[in-house]
Amino acid sequence: MTAPEKVNTFGSVALVGVYGFMLAVAVAFDLLSDRSHGAILLSTIPISVLAILCLLIGPWLSGRFRRVAWRGWAAGSIINLAIVLWFSGLGAEQAKVSELVFTYAVLIGSLPGSLVMPFGLSWLEPLLRDHLTLRLLAAWTLCVMGGLATWSCLRWISRRRGHG
């Protein structure tokens, strides 16, 4: 009987700490400048870059490190959603800007599976109409589903190549 694998909480905490650091720098920059919350919104881009690194590298890692990468990608996706939903509630003009930046951020955070998002959104457009929050949630959901497909494909390839 083998011993259960140790849970790597340090890696998960470290990734969340890096995300927190990115947000703290953005908040500090916002407070020191014009307080338009633009730096906070733009922090979704580096958060997405770290999330895509977790998504693309994670399936090739061993068990506990793979789970850390999985949690890192999930945390990055959820943090991006929380930022954009908060930002879109600040007003109509800022909501339009947040939709554009968020679209790029979620596309980056789930590549290449997220490339299905434009097709999915055009198919859902008659249902979503001009409701911004529903469009943001639909874009996020499509990209997360694309990210899950990417993870599954990479995991399958890594198993076929003997990486666990």
Separation CA 122–CA 108 (nearest Å): 19
> At residue 52, what is the residue type?
I
- Categorize the per-residue pLDDT at 134 as very low, low, confident or very high, splitting at 50, 70 and 90: confident
Separation CA 148–CA 125 (nearest Å): 23
Which is more confidently placed, 132 or 48? 48
pLDDT in tens, 19-70: 999 999 988 988 888 777 788 888 889 999 999 999 999 888 888 889 999 9
Enter the DSSP assignment of 114. Answer: G
